[in-house]
Amino acid sequence: MLLGASNSRENFVDIDVSIWAWVILAAIIVVLLAVDLYRHRGDKEPTARLALLESAGWIACGLAFGGAVAIVWGGEAFGEYISGYLIEKSLSIDNVFVWSLVFTTMAIPLRYQHRVLFWGVFGALVLRAGFIAIGSALITRFAWVLIFFGVFLIYTGLKIIRHRDDESTDAATPGLGLLSRIMPVSQEYDGHNFFTRLDGVRAATPLFAALVVIELTDVIFAVDSVPAILAVSNEPFLVFASNAFAILGLRALYFLLADARERFHYLSHGLGAILIFVGIKMVIARWYHVDTFVSLAVILAILVIAIVFSERKARQLGISGRQLSQSHDHD
């Protein structure tokens, strides 16, 4: 069994990552988070134009880091990094729509949503690091874990294709119930603070309640996305880096796409198909390795097909990008 795990690992790139590479990656993430927090320190309501520019900037950062990976470790490492980045970015679109439902359900003002998402993303980075470390260790030791992850992803992909509306605010009720057992939860806001005083007692504001729900939803999505990325790379550095750069751009992506759920009618089908593909790739990995760039081409093709058919459906329904943008700015 251990031999099988070793053989599956040989199908992926094996790079020598020094401690300094991890330090540099961590420093880049901290700097980017600090810049983002400084830019949004005034609790201003973001516009669609600003969200578009910031999304482009975050994508540029992710691609630039991929270029650095290619220079230092070669094309195969770049292929695994960019495949992981694309998988996480595409699967995260579902997360964006769920965030929109959470904020709408909990009536969180738009001007405070970036602050909640900032700390939500920070927590997500920590959680993903743990998931990746555990997943990589299991795959290294036990070959059957690949098959288990693969079957789970196939099941999840089929579930998403058949019915995706069950992924909504289900985490809100248990999340708020757990929080209310730990400490009082205020119904009133205290600026953008997460905590306030309620009858002289320290209490959580609705913003902290929303943050708890956001973190719970991220745990749910990480259960899908981390095994999916481990299907295209077994190198923890590449897996975490691709995950991190994709997640860092989620806040801007949220403000850009939050109101566009109807426009991407077939996107859920595409995401389900991606999960099924990488699930099959994991199941057969012990006997047959699908080339990294072939995987990347398949994932890109699925996304393009889903977007093209979604655009066609949107035109049939009379949904225009301009209408969605105006609706978002109005909100």
Helix (H) or strand (E) holding 86: helix 75-105
Region 198-208 average pLDDT: 80
Helices 236-248, 75-105: crossing angle, 10 deg rounding: 40
Residue 128 has pLDDT above 80, yes or no: yes
Between 138 and 60, the more confident residue is 60
- State the pLDDT at residue 1: 34
CA–CA separation, 192 and 180 (whole Å): 20
Please state, in angstroms and rounded to a whole number, the distance separating the CA atoms of residues 204 and 209: 7
**Model pLDDT for residues 134-175, shown as the tens digit of each residue:** 877 777 676 677 777 778 888 878 877 776 444 444 555 555
Average pLDDT score over the chain: 78
Judge whether 52 and 260 are in contact, CB under 8 Å. no
Percentage of the chain exceeding pLDDT 90: 13
3-state helix, strand, coil split of the chain in percent (to 5) is: 75, 5, 20
Both tokens of residue 103? Answer: 């904020």
Residue 313 Cα distances to 20, 299, 318, angstroms: 49, 21, 9
pLDDT of 193 > 70? The answer is yes
Which of 223, 207, 34, 62 shows the shortest CA–CA distance to 128?
Answer: 223
Using the Cα atoms of residue 254, residue 258, residue 264 and residue 268 in order, give the sign of their dihedral.
positive
What are the structural domain ranges in the chain?
2-330
Query: Span 47-72, mean pLDDT?
Result: 90
What's residue 257's pLDDT?
72
Contact present, 130 and 239 (Cβ < 8 Å): no
Q: Is the pLDDT of residue 77 over 70?
A: yes
Half-sphere exposure in the Cβ direction for 264 (13 Å, CA): 21
- Of the pLDDT bands very low, low, confident and very high (cuts 50, 70, 90), residue 291 is confident
Q: What is the pLDDT of residue 69?
A: 94
Dump pLDDT digits (tens) for 237-283: 999 999 999 988 888 888 877 656 666 777 778 888 888 888 888 77
The pLDDT-based confidence of 324 (bands split at 50, 70, 90) is very low
**Residue 259 has what pLDDT?**
58
- Cα(103)–Cα(147) distance, integer angstroms: 37
Total-model pTM? 0.76
Q: How far apart are CA 183 and CA 197, in angstroms?
A: 11
What is the average pLDDT across 65-74? 93
Torsion, Cα of 235, 241, 243, 249 (10° steps) = -170
Q: Is the pLDDT of residue 325 over 80?
A: no
DSSP 185: B
Query: Residue 326 above 70 pLDDT?
Result: no
* Spatial separation of the C-alpha atoms in residues 268 and 94, rounded to whole Å: 7
Pairwise pLDDT comparison (92 vs 31), residue with the higher score: 31
**What type of residue sits at position 314?**
A
DSSP 46: P
Residue 181 has pLDDT above 60, yes or no: yes
pLDDT at 31: 94
Q: Are the C-beta atoms of residues 102 and 172 closer than 8 Å to each other? A: yes
